[in-house]
Each structure stands twice: as structure tokens, then as C-alpha cells.
Amino acid sequence: SSDRVFNFAAGPATLPEIVLRKAESELVNWRGSGMSVMEMSHRGKEFRSIIEKAESDLQSLLSVSSDYVVLFLQGGATTQFAAIPLNLCESGDDEVDYLVTGSWSDKAVKEAQKFCKPNVIWSGKSEKYTKIPDFDSLEQNSNAKYLHICANETIHGVEFKNYPVPKNKAEILVADMSSNFCSKPVDVSKFGIIYAGAQKNVGPSGVTIVIIRKDLIGKAQGITPLMLDYKIHADNGSLYNTPPCYGIYMCGLVFEDLLNQGGLVEVEKKNIRKAQILYETIDKSGGFYRSPVEKSVRSLMNVPFTLEKSELEEEFIKEASKEKMVQLKGHRSVGGMRASIYNAMPLAGVEKLVAFMKDFQARHG
Ligand code: PMP
């Protein structure tokens, strides 16, 4: 509606208005239950129907096979940085491999250092995290328990377009998909674990989704806190303790909406179109706008860019905000601008942004 802005935030991020309206209509009295989802017992039949539908809709969206379990957890993707080594390594002496393609995979490896022996087999740091390596030239450790990647670096805007084959003995690939989860079809069978915070593409903050291959469950180190042990959550259908009920409900509404749009094949087409017009505007600006990221790995979700005349950046953000395009400031660690254009950002939002960018350039170029 006219009083909503185009919100380019990296997360928590914009949600589909249709989903917010539906939640609004059901807020006070969920489907005749006489109460809101926030007030329900997580063990009652109403909430069970909500979580079961959310799970099965997500399974449909990603064609998740019965070899995998979907978990709705808490603690954000950050908690998974610890849970993964705790569940996949037998002891602190086990080796694991990490590709460091940006700030998030860097944080993941630093947390893993507390629970195992991670090898950084490639880092893009010296090139300011603008690249993804050629997989054939990677030297993976055969005794590593898993290979970890961040499929989309939210801050640096680099996205894997395909995935390395894990050459470790266990053949396990683990991916942080926080910022491109459900933005395109993914072959889940290539991964041992996929995890994502919900607050970018699929819901509010407070829900962390983990999709894990069943044979990897039940091997956590003895010191693993209960809440980080995948087995506890898998055995209890994500209802071991009180889950983030309302957040799971919202994710369920988003999954329903994604299915209604025709599933992830259709969603990806829209995302490609949006990213295309934005990158094109940057590339055709004659250097007025710049994207630091190597073209082949530019993210469809997070588009960082700078102005050649960096002194104009503040003005750019201020003027955009006046025109109801908000949260365009780049992450404090890299500066510049960043437009996050997740699933729920409509094409109209990106069209408005590129029209503004062209106009801004005409006035200041
Ligand atoms: N990984 C990625 C790729 C992220 O973008 C984020 C959040 N911005 C995180 C991990 C951390 O997620 P959370 O805040 O849910 O712990």
C-alpha cells in the first residue's frame, strides 16, 4: 500500500505484503481457534498443524527427499556456526575445511576453531572478498569431516553459482544459505547440512532453519549443549522446548506464497530480472556507480555498490530515503551502498531504484 516504503535492508528484511495482510487478518483469532498463534500451546493440534504444514511446504519448495529432516530452531545462523562442528566432529582434534569468501564464512570458521581444527583452504580476504575460487584448484583435506561454504555472502555480495564437490572422506558439504535461502532451486542432495536464518527471504528473525541428512544426526560430541544437538530436535519434531511459534507461522505463510508464485523456478526468474536491471545500471553508468564483485559471482540478493565520487554517498542515501527507498547504506565494515533485493522486493522497487540512480547521476555526474 502507498504508506509502505521499499525496504532494501539486508535482514530483517522486507516481507511480502500479501503475507503481512494475511497475518493481520488472522492475528487476533487464528482460523476460529479464538486465540492468536502467539497464545497457543506449541503442543496443541492447531500449532502442530501450522508447523507440519510449514515443514511440508518447505519440503515441496526445495524437493527435500525423505533422507533429510527439516528443523525449525533458534539462535540464528550464528548458533549453527558452533552446532555444526559439535555435531559433525567426534572431538576437538578433528579437521574440517572452510572456504572463506566473506565476513560470514570468516565468522563461521572462527567459531569452529573452538570445537575442532578448521583449515581455511581458500580465503578471498586479500582481494576484499570479491571472488569465489575455481573449485578444481582447491586442495581439500581428505581427512576433513566436512567442507563448509557460505552460499551467499550478505555483506560482500558474492554468491556461489554452483558448488564444490566435497573431497573429504565423509563427502559432506555444509552451506550457510541465510541470505539466499529459497531464492532459487537448490539440489539439496548435494549437501549434508543447509542452514539459514529466516529473516531475509522467508520470515521474521528468531527462526533458524536447518535441513540435515538423517545419517548425520545422533553423533554429537558429549559436550554438546542439549539445544545444539540435532538429534534432540529431530526426535521431537522441533518441539523439544518451546519453539519460536509465531515466527514459524510467518515462515509457513511465506512458503505458501512462494508455492503460489509457482515455486522456486518462478521465484528465481523474478530474482534474476531484478538483479539484471540493477547490475546493468551500475555497469552502464560509465564508472559513476561501481560494483566491486567479479561478474560471474555477483549475488542476486545483495548488491553492494559504491559511487566514484564517494563524497556523494550520503546525499544518495538521503535522497533515496526521501523517495521511500530505505536501508541502502552499505554494511559498516565495507561502506558504500548495498541494495538487498530478496524474494519479497518487488520488481517495481528495483525499477524505482534504478530510475532514481539514473536521475541522481544526471544531476551529479
Ligand atoms: N550468515 C549469513 C550469510 C548472514 O547473512 C547472517 C546474518 N546477516 C548470519 C549468518 C548470522 O545470522 P543470525 O543473525 O541469524 O545469527
Q: How far is the CA of 76 from the centre of ligand 1 (A)?
A: 7
Q: Nearest 10 degrees: CA dihedral of 199, 204, 208, 214? A: -100
Verify that 229 and 295 share a domain, yes or no.
no
Verify that 166 and 203 share a domain, yes or no.
yes
202 occurs within a structural domain: yes
Verify that 158 and 283 share a domain, yes or no.
no
Verify that 236 and 317 share a domain, yes or no.
no
Rounded Cα distance, 323 and 66, in Å:
48
- pLDDT of 334 reads 87
Is 30 catalytic? The answer is no
- pLDDT of 1 reads 62
Verify that 67 and 80 share a domain, yes or no.
yes
- Give CA 1 to chain center in angstroms: 26
For the chain, how big is the Rg over CA atoms in Å?
21
Alpha helical stretches, state H, the chain: 17-26, 45-62, 76-88, 103-112, 230-235, 245-260, 264-283, 313-322, 347-364
Q: HSE on the CB side for 176, CA within 13 Å?
A: 32
Q: How far is the CA of 196 from the centre of ligand 1 (A)?
A: 8
What are 118's strand-pairing partners?
96
Verify that 232 and 322 share a domain, yes or no.
no
Rounded Cα distance, 262 and 280, in Å:
27
Q: In sequence order, what DSSP letters do the residues of 48-71 get, joined into one string?
A: HHHHHHHHHHHHHHHT--TTEEEE
- Cβ of 364: how many Cβ atoms within 10 Å? 13
Full domain range(s) for residue 293: 263-364
311-319 LR contacts (CB < 8 Å, sep 24+): 312/364, 313/337, 315/364, 316/360, 319/356, 319/360
Verify that 179 and 270 share a domain, yes or no.
no
12 occurs within a structural domain: no
What are 338's strand-pairing partners?
304
Query: Domain holding 275: CATH number?
Result: 3.90.1150.10
Q: Nearest 10 degrees: CA dihedral of 352, 358, 364, 365? A: 160
Rounded Cα distance, 358 and 348, in Å:
15
Q: Taking Cα atoms as reference points, which of 214, 210, 146 lies closest to residue 178? A: 210
Which of these three, 206, 241, 260, is where a domain ends? 260
- Please tell me which residue in 57, 94, 97, 176 is annotated as part of the active site: 176
Verify that 252 and 267 share a domain, yes or no.
no
Rounded Cα distance, 191 and 203, in Å:
23
Verify that 344 and 240 share a domain, yes or no.
no
13 occurs within a structural domain: no
Verify that 280 and 249 share a domain, yes or no.
no
| CB 96, CB 144: distance < 8 Å | yes
Q: Quick check: pTM over 0.90?
A: yes
Specify the length of the chain in residues.
365
6 occurs within a structural domain: no
Is 176 catalytic? The answer is yes
Q: HSE on the CB side for 364, CA within 13 Å?
A: 21
Ligand 1: residue whose CA is nearest its atom 3: 178
Which of these three, 229, 260, 291, is where a domain ends? 260
Verify that 256 and 275 share a domain, yes or no.
no
Quick one: residue 129, left, alpha or beta (phi over 0 = left, psi -120 to 50 = alpha)? left
Q: Which of 99, 103, 178, 180 to mutate to test the pocket of ligand 1 (most atoms within 8 A of CB)?
A: 178
Query: Does a cis peptide bond (omega within 30 degrees of 0) precede residue 133?
Result: no
**Mean pLDDT for back-to-back runs of 10 residues, the chain (365 residues):** 91 98 98 98 98 98 98 98 98 97 98 98 97 96 97 98 94 97 98 98 98 98 97 98 98 98 98 98 98 97 97 97 97 93 98 98 95
- pLDDT of 169 reads 86
- The CA–CA distances, whole Å, from 215 to 68, 88, 171, 192, 228 equal 9, 11, 12, 9, 17
E strand or H helix at 146, and its extent? none
7 occurs within a structural domain: no
Tally the domains of the chain.
2
- pLDDT of 97 reads 98
Ligand 1 pocket at CB < 6 A = 11, 76-78, 104, 150, 154, 176, 178-179, 197
Q: How far is the CA of 122 from the centre of ligand 1 (A)?
A: 21
74 occurs within a structural domain: yes
- Give CA 113 to chain center in angstroms: 23
Verify that 299 and 179 share a domain, yes or no.
no
Q: Which of 72, 104, 149, 150 to mutate to test the pocket of ligand 1 (most atoms within 8 A of CB)?
A: 104
| CB 305, CB 124: distance < 8 Å | no
Is 257 catalytic? The answer is no
| CB 192, CB 213: distance < 8 Å | yes
- pLDDT of 338 reads 98
Helix (H), strand (E) counts: the chain:
9, 14
1 occurs within a structural domain: no
Query: Domain holding 49: CATH number?
Result: 3.40.640.10
127 occurs within a structural domain: yes
- pLDDT of 168 reads 85
Burial group, residue 3, by CB count within 10 angstroms (0-12, 13-18, 19+): exposed
Which of these three, 260, 295, 319, is where a domain ends? 260
